[in-house]
Amino acid sequence: MATWFTFIIAIVITIFTQVLGSGVFELDLHQFQNNRSLLANGIACSPACRTFFRVCLKNYQTIVSPGDCYFGSVVTPVLGNNSFSVMEDGTFTKPIRLPLTHFAWPGSFSLIIEAWYSPSADLPEDTNNPASLISYFSIQRKLEVGDEWSQDVQSGGQTELRYSYRFICIENYYGDSCSKICAPRDDRFGHYTCNPEGQISCLPGWKGQYCEESICLKGCSKNNGNCSRPGDCVCREGWQGTFCDECKRHPSCKHGTCQQPWQCTCKEGWGGLLCDQDLNYCTHHKPCHNGATCMNTGQGSYTCTCQPGFTGDTCDSEVRECDSQPCRNGGLCLDLENGYRCACTQGYEGTHCEHRMLTCADSPCFHGNCRERDKGRSYMCECPGGFTGLNCEKKVDKCTSLPCTNGGRCVIHGTTRWCSCRSGFTGPRCEININECSMNPCANGATCMDRINDYTCICPLGYTGRNCDKPTDRCAPKPCLNGGTCTDGAKGQPAACTCPAHFSGPQCQYYDVPLLIPPSPSPSRVREPLDRLHWAAICLGVGMVVLLVLICMAAMVLRHIQQQRKRKKDSESMNNLSDVQKENLISDLQLKNINKKLDLDLEVDCLRENSQNHKHINYHLDYKTSKEYKDEPSEEDKDDNCKKMIEEKMPLTTKYSERPECRISTICSPRDSMYQSVFVIAEEKNECVIATEV
Task: Give SS3 for 435.
Answer: coil
Q: What is the pLDDT of residue 21?
A: 63
Better-predicted residue by pLDDT, 611 or 561: 561
Same fold, 15-171 and 360-395: no
Q: Is the pLDDT of residue 679 over 70?
A: no
Task: Tabulate helix, strand, coil % of the chain (nearest 5).
Answer: 20, 30, 50
Looking at mean pLDDT, say which of 55-64, 224-233, 561-570, 600-609 comes out highest.
55-64
Q: Is the pLDDT of residue 555 over 90?
A: yes
DSSP string, 76-145: ----EESSEE----SS--SSEEEEESSS---SEEEEEEEEEE-SSSSS---TT-GGGEEEEEEEEEE--S
Better-predicted residue by pLDDT, 355 or 637: 355
Q: Is the pLDDT of residue 632 over 60?
A: no
Most distant CA pair in the chain, distance: 170
Work out the average pLDDT over 596-607: 41
Mean pLDDT score across all residues of the chain: 75
For residue 354, the tally of other CB atoms under 10 A from its CB is: 14
What residues contact 392, with CB distance under 8 A and at least 6 apart? 365, 366, 367, 368, 381, 382, 383, 384
Which superfamily does 360-395 belong to? Laminin (2.10.25.10)
Distance of alpha carbon 612 from alpha carbon 605, whole angstroms: 11
Distance of alpha carbon 677 from alpha carbon 169, whole angstroms: 93
Q: Which CATH class is domain 279-319?
A: mainly beta
Distance of alpha carbon 100 from alpha carbon 173, whole angstroms: 12
CATH code of the domain occupying 15-171: 2.60.40.3510
Q: Is the pLDDT of residue 625 over 70?
A: no
Nearest to 212 by CA among 198, 235, 232, 230: 230
519 class by beta-carbon count within 10 Å (0-12 exposed, 13-18 middle, 19+ buried): exposed
Nearest to 133 by CA among 165, 153, 156: 156
Q: Which CATH class is domain 322-356?
A: mainly beta
Q: What is the pLDDT of residue 500?
A: 87
Amino acid at 216: C
Q: Where are the domains of the chain?
A: 15-171, 279-319, 322-356, 360-395
The set of long-range contacts for 559-565, using a CB threshold of 8 Å and a minimum separation of 24, is none
Of 15-24, 233-242, 304-313, 616-625, where does mean pLDDT reach its minimum? Answer: 616-625
Query: Residue 646 in contact with residue 590, Cβ under 8 Å?
Result: no
Tell me the per-residue pLDDT of 392-440, one tens digit each, with 9 for 90 and over: 988 777 776 667 888 888 887 766 778 888 878 888 888 888 888 988 8
Distance of alpha carbon 606 from alpha carbon 620, whole angstroms: 27
Enter the DSSP assignment of 38.
Answer: B
Distance of alpha carbon 209 from alpha carbon 332, whole angstroms: 83
